[in-house]
Amino acid sequence: MVEEMIEIYQPTIDEKTRLKIKPNQFKVSGDGVFFSLQGEGQSIGKPAVFLRLHFCNLQCSWCDTRYTWDRSISQFWQEAQDWSIEQAVAKITRFPVRRLIVTGGEPLLQQRNVANLLQQMPDWDVEIETTGTIEPLPELQERVQFNVSPKLENSGNLRVARYRSQALRILNGLPATSFKFVVQSPADFGEIDEVVRDTPLDQSKIIIMPEGSTHEEVRKHGLAVVEEVKSRGWRLMPRLHVELWGAERGV
Ligand code: SF4
């Protein structure tokens, strides 16, 4: 049997330099800003402007935005852009809605800049997609709807990296937070039960979302966990953007 060679991209010196964080500048991924529908969670279906930030503190095996963090692929090095707060405001406010979703990667790695951005947009509804591993700044806690997606063992991340109980407790205490667990099979629910018990999580905030980047995968994983969701009284929700656009980027 011939083993497949995994090609690891070798960045140039210029590309490495471009990845350095600059004061008061966002490091934005190649998707930048785009206008679409919220594809997941409690605001599913709502039109919103998305800001996709670069970098993540986790490495999920099934991640569909690897270009935000995976150093072995060229897009990670070549697509990142530096935007000032003013540039970000100008690009976000071109669209006819007042809902912003800050996503990534892990947007809270750049939360000081996010807080500065939101000061310029006082009349906007704002959501942040996060893994729940970083405690949000107080000014974000007051203002933002956090869509928290705590990662499970099925993500391939070590527990020490993916589980931060203090951050989860803070997020659980905020009224607009929801917790979205990405599942593949009933075997994932033992770990979710543990997180719920240990935090303890408000179970009315729990959403279960089947993993998958195709309609078939999402359906298969969804059907596999229906009974687990029913028996706990939680919610099972689809991935709208996968239904509509599959794995396409920037939509
Ligand atoms: S936390 Fe999100 S962005 Fe980061 S690796 Fe996992 S799926 Fe990808």
Type of residue numbered 187: A
Which pTM was predicted?
0.95
Beta-carbon contacts of 32 under 8 Å, excluding residues fewer than 6 positions away, are 51, 52, 81, 83, 91, 250
Cβ 133 under 6 angstroms from ligand 1: no
Domains and CATH numbers, the chain: 21-245 (3.20.20.70)
User: In degrees rounded to 5, what are phi and psi of residue 11?
Assistant: -70, 155
Provide the H-helix boundaries in the chain.
Answer: 13-18, 74-78, 85-92, 111-119, 138-143, 159-162, 165-172, 189-198, 215-224, 226-232, 240-245
Cβ 131 under 6 angstroms from ligand 1: yes
Q: How far apart are CA 131 and CA 151, in angstroms?
A: 7
User: Measured in angstroms, how far is the CA atom of residue 60 from the centroid of ligand 1?
Assistant: 5
Residue owning the nearest CA to atom 8 of ligand 1: 63
Residue owning the nearest CA to atom 6 of ligand 1: 60
Cis peptide before 105 (omega within 30 of 0): yes
Q: How far apart are CA 251 and CA 249, in angstroms?
A: 6
Contact 218, 247 (CB under 8 A): no
Cβ 168 under 6 angstroms from ligand 1: no
Cβ 63 under 6 angstroms from ligand 1: yes
Token pair of 60, please? 């999920």
User: Measured in angstroms, how far is the CA atom of residue 92 from the centroid of ligand 1?
Assistant: 23
Atom of ligand 1 nearest to the CA of 131: 1
Beta-carbon contacts of 105 under 8 Å, excluding residues fewer than 6 positions away, are 29, 52, 53, 54, 55, 56, 65, 68, 69
Cβ 109 under 6 angstroms from ligand 1: no
Q: Kindly give the interhelix angle for 111-119 and 85-92, rounded to the nearest 10 degrees.
A: 60
Stretches where the chain sits below pLDDT 70 are 1-4
pLDDT at res. 248: 85
pLDDT at res. 224: 98
Cβ 105 under 6 angstroms from ligand 1: yes
Atom of ligand 1 nearest to the CA of 104: 3
* Residue that is written with structure tokens 């969701």 in the block: 229
User: Measured in angstroms, how far is the CA atom of residue 116 from the centroid of ligand 1?
Assistant: 24
Residue owning the nearest CA to atom 3 of ligand 1: 105
Contact 130, 170 (CB under 8 A): no
Q: What is the overall mean pLDDT for the chain? A: 95
